[in-house]
Every structure is written in C-alpha cells, then in structure tokens.
Structure 1
Amino acid sequence: MTSAAEHTPGPVTADDVDLAVHLSVTALREVPDSAWDSAAGDLEWTGWQTAEHLADDLFAYALQLAPRVPPLTTHVPVTWRRETPGGPASTIFVDRGEGVAGLMQVLDGCGGLLTAMVRTASPEARAHHVFGASDPEGFAAMGVVETLVHTRDITAGLGLPFEPPAGLCARTLHRLFPDAPADAEPWPGLLWSTGRTALPGRERLTGWRWYGEPRG
C-alpha cells in the first residue's frame, strides 16, 4: 500500500529559497534598463519598487527568525517608510546610482540572509507573521512565493519568459496553500492562488492569503 507521505511533494528547504532567488536574479538581469520605472504587471508599483519590496520581504523573513527568542506577536521592530506615495513600505532601499547591478546584488544578498537563517534556525523555532506564527520551513516557503510571484510580476508585462520548476512550486503550494486546486499544474496553481491569473473553470481571485502555521 502507498503511504500518504509518498503523495506529498516534500518540505520547502533553504535550498529552495536559494534556487528561487537564483532564478529571479537570472531572469531580472534580462529586464531592459528603460523598463525598471514601468509598472510591474498589474501592480501599481514600478519594477524597481517591486524588486526592492521583494528584497525587503526576504530580509524581513530572515530577521523574524534571527533573534534567540523570535517574537510571537509582532514584527522585529525595524522602521519602515515609503519613498513615494503609494510605494511599498520598506526597510530595504537600493541606491539608484548603483543601477541594476546594485539592485540585483541587494536582492541576492537578502535572499542569502533568508537562506542562511532557514538553514541554521531550529526546526522548532516559531516567529510572528500576520498569516500565522510560522516555522523556518514556513518562512522559506513565504520567501519562495514572494520571489517567484514578484519576479513574474516584473517580467510578464515585458514578454520575458519565467517559469520556475514544477517541484519548487508544488512544495510551496503544499506548505502554504492547502486549498490550491489539485487538478492544476503547480506554477499556474501558484499564480492562481496568489490572485495573478484565472484557471479553466476558476475565476481570478480578488482576495487571497496563505497559511503560515506549520502543517500537521
């Protein structure tokens, strides 16, 4: 008899965060310099703001896991601000004078911080997130979602290809989106689950969330 565990795609790991960030940086290096101030897909943010937001997410998730006693009711209290009205509230901003190379270095560096924290934090650690106090695997999965989806936001409107591996998407869906459609391929299923696209027989979501609590 086949066990239920054999039907699960496996845990999200530090290697998955590292892979997602590598795929993102590789894809975003193809974005023309002139396109970074254009809107990122359907977002109100520019491509540059979206990439900064992604770097900030990765940094923030690493920071939540980093204290010896991670906070369970709030975020680690760094200061956030908006550089422009309607722009993302962030801690991490990139010196525009350093250009796209600097932006990619910051993104890669923040991804490295989360990769390292997921790799070294105790599996029993728990830290606050608005979608449920989570463990290192959960923060890894959150980082993968943010990375894959925001990279797609930036590249889609420019006609640049970006399709991450099915296994990476499947592990992330299994960890964070228990209601994801089982009959969809993992990448389209992840895009549907994050309100980016419709699926056959399923309208595009106008509201969505993930579930960060450790899965039983």
Structure 2
Amino acid sequence: MTADDLEEAVRLAVETLGRAPADAWDGKAGTLEWTCWETAEHLADDLFAYAVQLGLTTPPLDDYVPFALESRRPGGPKNTVHADREAGPAGLMQVLQTSGALLAAMVRTAPPDARAHHVFGPADAESSAAMGLVETLVHVHDIAEGLGLTWAPPAGLCARVLDRIFPDAPRAADPWTALLWATGRAELPGRPRLTKWRWYNDPASYPS
C-alpha cells in the first residue's frame, strides 16, 4: 500500500462525486444514518486524522491526538474537519482532496518506525495508507449509493487493501465485493452479511 494508491483512490472519488447534482447532498448515504454531505466530511476527517496521528515523533500509542471533535446535529458524525456549506459541493470536494493529499504526504515522509494509534492496532505508514483507502473506497460507495452514482473502484486497489489489513477476507471472490463484505456492506455466497467487523494494522496480529 502506497501514497500513490491513496492518491488514485481520492482522485477517482472526487471525479465520481463531482458528477452529483448540487441539491442531492442532504439525502442519506446508503445504509448510513448520515447524509451524503456528512459522510463526505467524515471521510475527509478520517484522512486528516490518520495523517496527523502518523505525524507525531513520539506517538501516544494508547490514545488519539486531542483535536476537538464536533457534531453539527444530534446523530451526526463527530469531526474535526467540516466544509463550509456556502462553498457548495465543489468546496466539499476540495476539502476531501486536500485531506487525502495530507495523508499521502505523511505516508511518503514518515520514518519506518513511525506508528499511529488506532483501535485496530498501531499503524505504520503502509497500514495508514491502507486505512485511508478503506475509508475512501467504502464511504464513497455509501455516498454514491445515496447520490445515485456508479462507483466501481479498481480491483487491484481493493485486492491490495484486502491483502494488507483484511487477512481473513475471502480471496476467491471479486475483490471489490469481498471488501464490501469485509466492511459489513454486502453478502457473499455462503457468507452472511457481517454486523461486526475490523481490520488488522499489524501483520504480527493477523489471526491464524
């Protein structure tokens, strides 16, 4: 998993979501309880958070960097990053793109021993890129579903994410469908839809 992979995913995300009508963003994002706008802000916030967490020279591996979090409505996502509604969807896409660029830059420049705190285990630069890819691929799926857009990310990106942080996901299935299954968004033949799921940042913690 590389910064180039992350940049490709964010570029495709912005291109896809940029085709949505300006008045469609307040509808629900797929099966989530958030709106499409809120989910895009949440995605930008994830990318920002992974970047800043990786930037600590002495990371607190038991906690997150204490940026203030705010939900703009009851039940909405708690984010540090919010887009100015007056800037419209084009401004929202700028916020998303720059958050992705920040994480890509940190992935490129982080020293080999850098580790970022996460509930799914300490993340090095490669797993931080993989986390950003998971967030991008699946949340754009949610948003695109709500906006009535088609989102079909490259199979190679999906396969590399599965290989890096989803060691227990099926490999015989289509990689995109397998990633949706691994994140509780799809069923696979012979496998029920997951109601709880996780990834593994550290290869040493992969289930046997």
Question: Shorter-chain TM-score category?
Answer: over 0.9
Residue 157 of structure 1: how far off its partner (Å): 3.6
Is contact 1:40-1:46 (8 Å) kept? yes
- Tell me, yes or no, if the aligned pair for 1:81 and 1:91 is still in contact at 8 Å: yes
Q: How does 1:21-100 map to 2 (within 5 A)?
A: 21-100=10-89
Distance 1:148 1:179, change over 3 A: same
Q: What is the TM-score when the length of structure 1 is the normalising length?
A: 0.92
- AA in 2 matched with 1:151: V
Residue 159 of structure 2 aligns to which amino acid in structure 1? A
> After TM superposition, which residue ranges in structure 1, 4 or more long, deviate above 6 angstroms?
none
Alpha carbons 2:184, 2:193 under 8 Å: kept: yes
2:114–2:124 contact (8 Å) kept in structure 1 = yes
Mapped partners of 2:7, 2:58: distance in 1? 25
**Whole-angstrom CA distance in 1 between matches of 2:75 and 2:20:** 23
Per the alignment, residue 123 of structure 2 pairs with: 134
TM-score normalised by length of structure 2: 0.95
Q: Secondary structure at the match of 1:20?
A: helix
Residues 1:205 and 2:184 aligned together: no
Deviation at 1:210, TM superposition (A): 0.8
Separation (CA, whole Å) in 1 of partners of 2:194 and 2:50: 25
Task: Give matches, 1:114-153, under 5 Å.
Answer: 114-153=103-142
Q: 1:38 to 1:98 in 2, by over 3 A?
A: same
**Cα distance in 1, alignment partners of residues 12 and 174 from structure 2:** 19
For the Cα contact (< 8 Å) 2:113–2:124, is it kept in 1? Answer: yes
Provide the residue aligned with 2:158 in structure 1: 169
Q: Does the 8 Å CA contact 1:134/1:214 hold for their aligned counterparts? A: no
Pairwise CA distance, 1:202: 1.3
Q: 1:146-182 deviations in whole A, cap 9, x for unaligned?
A: 0010001011244311111111111101111111012
Q: Contact between 1:177 and 1:211, CA under 8 Å: does it hold in 2?
A: yes
Q: What is the match of residue 8 of structure 2?
A: 19
Q: Which amino acid aligns with 1:41?
A: G
* Number of residues of Structure 1 aligned to a counterpart in Structure 2: 205
Contact 1:21–1:147 at 8 Å: present in 2 too?
A: yes
Match of 1:179 among 158, 163, 168: 168
Match of 1:6 in 2: none
Asked whether the 8 Å contact 2:25–2:147 carries over to 1, the reply is: no
What is the DSSP-based 3-state SS (H/G/I as helix, E as strand, rest coil) of the residue aligned with 2:42?
helix
| Identity percentage of aligned residues | 62
Q: For 1:104, which of 93, 112, 116 is the aligned residue? A: 93
CA distance in 2, matches of 1:202, 1:156: 23
Q: How far apart, in 2, do the equivalents of 1:67 and 1:182 lie? A: 35
- Unaligned runs of 5+ residues in structure 1 are 1-11
Moved more, 51-60 or 181-190: 181-190
| Structure 2 residue ranges without an equivalent (≥5) | none
